[in-house]
Structure 1
Amino acid sequence: MADFVLVPGAWLGSWAWDDVVPELRTAGHGAHPLTLSGLAEKQGVRAGQQAHVQDIVDEVDRLDLRDVILVGHSYSGIPVGQAAERIGDRLRRVVFVDSNVPADGGSFASSWWQGQAAFEASIAEHGGFWALPTAADCEGQGLTDEQIARFVDRATPHPGATLTEPAVLTHPLGELPATYIKCLLDGPEPSDDVAKLLTGERWRLVEMNTGHWPMFSHPHELAEILLGAAEGA
């Protein structure tokens, strides 16, 4: 039996995993969805990048988990990748779900496609938060109108400091046992940094023919991939 710690991406809380958790538990595994500081029911809690890393480490410690599979979606791949090396031999595997990955000294903002300055300016314009997504932002990602409405209605502004503070890694990320899930509607190829990591012996690629939020669009298929990761497949 493995223990999955499921960390949602930007704007989301633990509720994002509601359709995935039952399948993992039915298969006999532990499933622990986590809301990061400053989001969803934890709104109002001040949070930076390292606070989110600590949220994940603290959850593993609080529940005294072993054989941990850390799952990070989108933004949360950055804190998950850092937490993975900090929990030591409790880690079984990391699963990055169409996510960013950490680079020592880098941040989410530093790899933003329009440049870090533009991203930081947008955060400043929105009171220190990454502005909420709109329904239009979710188009073309394989989501139904109902799924888009659920996402947009429940999303909460994302704390800007978590996106601009640098990651801290003490070992090469490629040393972690990892599965990377690429959602093809969000782009046919992994980013260059992920592609490089996938050339290593400890990383494997799984593709999903859906968009950036597979926990909404294809929760059953996503759960099956996570269960496969628990078996090393």
Structure 2
Amino acid sequence: MFYFSDLYSYASHYEPTDLFDFLGNPQLAEDYETNCLQLAFMPGAEELDILEDIFWDYAEELGLAYYSFYLPENHGMPNELMAALEAKNYQLASYQVFQSPANLIQPEPIHVDWQEVNDEASFQAYLDFQTPFDQAAPPALRDSRALRYQMAYQNPWISQALAYQGEQLVATWDLIDQGHFLEIDNLTVHPDYRRQGIASQIVALSQEKAAQSANPLLALADIENPSMALFEGLGFEALSLVNRIHRPLDEADAL
């Protein structure tokens, strides 16, 4: 059984405790997806105040800009906590962790040429493709995502790839080798080429790579993202649901 905490993180600092794990990276100071406490318990309103005090200390040390907490997987939030989050103007996001089936539903074959990102020119093509789509992301994440792409390019365990139809770059994605499983990430298809089976073909190719080492393929999908339907349609198993809450740090919080 795999969990959200098994998935890849761009954190450079990691501190485990019995009640939470802290993950952070001062290079990604505004990246509330990376800088977080992963909680082992569901807090109440008073416990949330204590957790904010704890997070503040980490934030001061690393120069972080947001509170961010991942709540325990597969747990609903009590009304008391929901009221506290609303009062403090927290934002909520929910994610589904998926695992590939033993026998992937095979998509209709389409002609797409694949190229691994292996030099500065191909990485620049990857970056030029991804950047316009990241403009729709919250401002706090735009710059950090560009830096994460650079970190991935320099990481020998992460493969970045390009998909072409003719000379047209139509999709990009990452495949992360976690040792006992592979993780697909940053799968992006150009809007003009969506609903043509390209994403399904990429997932099938990634599943083949995972099968070569007898490992499963994992994916994380925002529940409001179309990728949910993609993985469900290919027969992926939903392993767990995780909620993240975040809000900007305020100097008033330190008083």
Q: What TM-score does the superposition give when structure 1 sets the normalisation length?
A: 0.32
Q: Please, what TM-score do these two structures have when normalized by structure 2?
A: 0.30
The structure having more radius of gyration, on CA atoms, is 2
